[in-house]
């Protein structure tokens, strides 16, 4: 919760594949890299989720962990936060935020239930760079049970993580990587089920769940994201990204876009992440607001 303030809005934050809550609540140099803290400082309450199978959440058989199941679990969290069943405080407004696989889960959740006031989508677009996705699955991911960090902890063979030493190439851009951040990332990495990844890419990114979103959306990427940015310049500017993504969203989504120059897939963990945090805060202030009162009409136009 924000220190010394009453928040009327909570951000529910869903991490991506091989991450848990620490992606949003990063322990190293939190004044720079901790997104949760930055949003609290801006007046927003936050609830950082461990996806099913990760962190402190339960660990179902990996074959049962689909993106749709994850979306249903997030929906239950949102309802509990609105009703005051978590921490005793009910929130009038909810912003759902996701990263990468967490964004795909968020698109499914909002496209199905439309139970939030705005959606933050980070680290995905509707254009997939297929060779990069194939490469990470074939060269970086392997069974978590074979990794020293997870060996002997009861993960079934379907849960995957990244091979040691691969996260820098996959998730970062060289110019905006702090080696200490990368080391912390490796030390706190988690797992995912390939079933949820395939379900998320197939259902949320390629089929029209995003068209069903009825609340404002901010979609953000780093321009060096190897999985979603290509040589066409689709991530060359916020305007170029918006032109690409507009057809996938209805007018009610009031799509806004933001491209962080020099950042890779993990926007939160780039050395220049602060302008991205500021862009999210400004968008949230304009469309939702941190306090209990509604923001009507939005201060920021749908452009």
| 176-221 confidence digits (pLDDT tens) | 999 999 999 999 999 999 999 887 777 656 568 999 999 999 999 9
Mean pLDDT of 139-155: 94
- Res 290: pLDDT: 85
Alpha-carbon distance 186 to 19, whole Å? 10
| Alpha-helix runs per DSSP H in the chain | 30-33, 35-41, 67-83, 101-113, 130-135, 167-171, 179-187, 194-199, 238-245, 273-287
For residue 200, the model assigns a pLDDT of: 73
- State the pLDDT at residue 202: 73
**Other beta carbons less than 10 A from residue 245's beta carbon:** 22
Phi first, then psi: what are they for 111, rounded to 5°?
-65, -25
Segment 16-39, tens digit of pLDDT:
999 999 999 999 999 999 999 999
Instruction: State the greatest distance between any 2 C-alpha atoms of the chain, in Å, as a whole number.
Output: 54
- As given in the structure block, the two tokens for residue 221 are 């990427």
- Higher-pLDDT residue of 207 and 118 is 118
Residue 143 has pLDDT above 50, yes or no: yes
Concatenating the DSSP letter of every residue in 106-119 gives HHHHHHHH--SSEE
Q: Can you tell me the mean pLDDT for 98-111?
A: 96
Taking the CB of residue 131, how many other CB atoms lie within 10 A of it? Answer: 10
pLDDT level of residue 6 (50, 70, 90 thresholds): low
Tokens in use for 245? 């993504």
Residue 141, SS3?
strand
Question: Which helix (H) or strand (E) covers residue 99, if one does?
Answer: strand 93-99
Over pLDDT 70: what percentage of the chain?
92
Model confidence at 293: pLDDT above 80: no
Check pLDDT > 80 for residue 129. yes
Instruction: Report the C-alpha gap between 179 and 163 in whole angstroms.
Output: 17
């Amino acid at each position: 919760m924000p220190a010394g303030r009453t928040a009327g809005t909570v951000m529910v934050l869903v991490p991506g594949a091989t991450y848990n809550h620490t992606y949003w609540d990063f322990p190293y140099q939190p004044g720079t890299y901790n997104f949760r803290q930055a949003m609290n400082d801006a007046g927003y309450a936050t609830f950082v989720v461990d996806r099913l199978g990760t962190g402190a959440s339960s660990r179902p058989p990996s074959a049962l962990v689909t993106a749709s199941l994850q979306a249903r679990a997030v929906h239950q969290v949102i309802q509990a936060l609105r009703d005051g069943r978590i921490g005793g405080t009910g929130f009038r407004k909810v912003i759902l935020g996701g990263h990468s696989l967490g964004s795909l889960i968020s698109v499914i959740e909002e496209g199905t239930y439309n139970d939030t006031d705005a959606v933050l989508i980070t680290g995905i677009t509707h254009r997939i760079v297929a060779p990069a996705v194939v490469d990470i699955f074939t060269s970086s991911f392997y069974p978590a049970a074979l990794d020293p960090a997870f060996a002997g902890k009861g993960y079934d063979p379907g849960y995957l993580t990244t091979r040691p030493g691969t996260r820098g190439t996959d998730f970062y851009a060289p110019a905006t990587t702090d080696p200490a951040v990368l080391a912390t990332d490796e030390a706190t990495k988690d797992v995912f089920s390939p079933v949820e990844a395939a379900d998320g890419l197939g259902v949320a990114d390629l089929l029209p769940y995003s068209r069903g979103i009825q609340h404002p959306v901010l979609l953000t990427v780093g321009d060096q994201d190897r999985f979603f940015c290509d040589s066409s310049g689709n991530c060359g500017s916020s305007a170029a990204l918006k032109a690409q993504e507009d057809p996938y969203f209805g007018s009610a989504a009031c799509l806004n876009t933001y491209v962080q120059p020099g950042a890779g897939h993990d926007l939160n963990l780039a050395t220049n992440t602060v302008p991205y945090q500021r862009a999210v805060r400004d968008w949230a202030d304009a469309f939702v607001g941190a306090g209990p009162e509604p923001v009507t009409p939005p201060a920021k136009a749908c452009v």
